[in-house]
Amino acid sequence: FTDVPGFLRWSRSGNRWQDTFYPNNSVDHSILEVADLIFKSRRGIIVTGNLRGAQLDSDGTDSLSGTIAHFSQTIGFPILASVQSGALRREYPVIPYAEHLLKNPLVSNGMQPDLIIQLGNPLISTEISKVIKSNPSAKHVLVQPFYPYERADPDQTV
């Protein structure tokens, strides 16, 4: 029981094991809480996994990728996009070849985010996952549709 990832951190914190907000019952509270985390953050990052539901507009562009890129520029966070993020990897605020850059210890050890916003799941990039795991004090927010048959947070970092 005590070898579950995140148990030691949780047992020392005095907090609930997991704060989960579902749109059906507390959308206002969750949006305000995430907005407050973004406002207080000094070194936030956005990581993206599988962005299901991305659809092309009539002109052939992916509106979801554009929306995420605009959001990133607005709040000033860089995007670490995994290979399954599709067209988002070609957008401006995405760090190109982030998975390769993070293999360098100087880069990966120097990345100390205080807030991680994860859009989509799962993450298949081991390097991006290492950044999340190596920063247990960072707040981690996962935004994705609820899929009851999936483990949305296997590392217990959200």
Say yes or no to pLDDT of 7 above 70: no
Residue with tokens 């293999």: 103
54-94 pLDDT, tens digit per residue, is 666 666 667 888 888 999 999 999 999 888 777 787 788 88
> What was the pLDDT predicted at 74?
94
117-128 pLDDT, tens digit per residue, is 998 887 878 898
> What was the pLDDT predicted at 1?
47
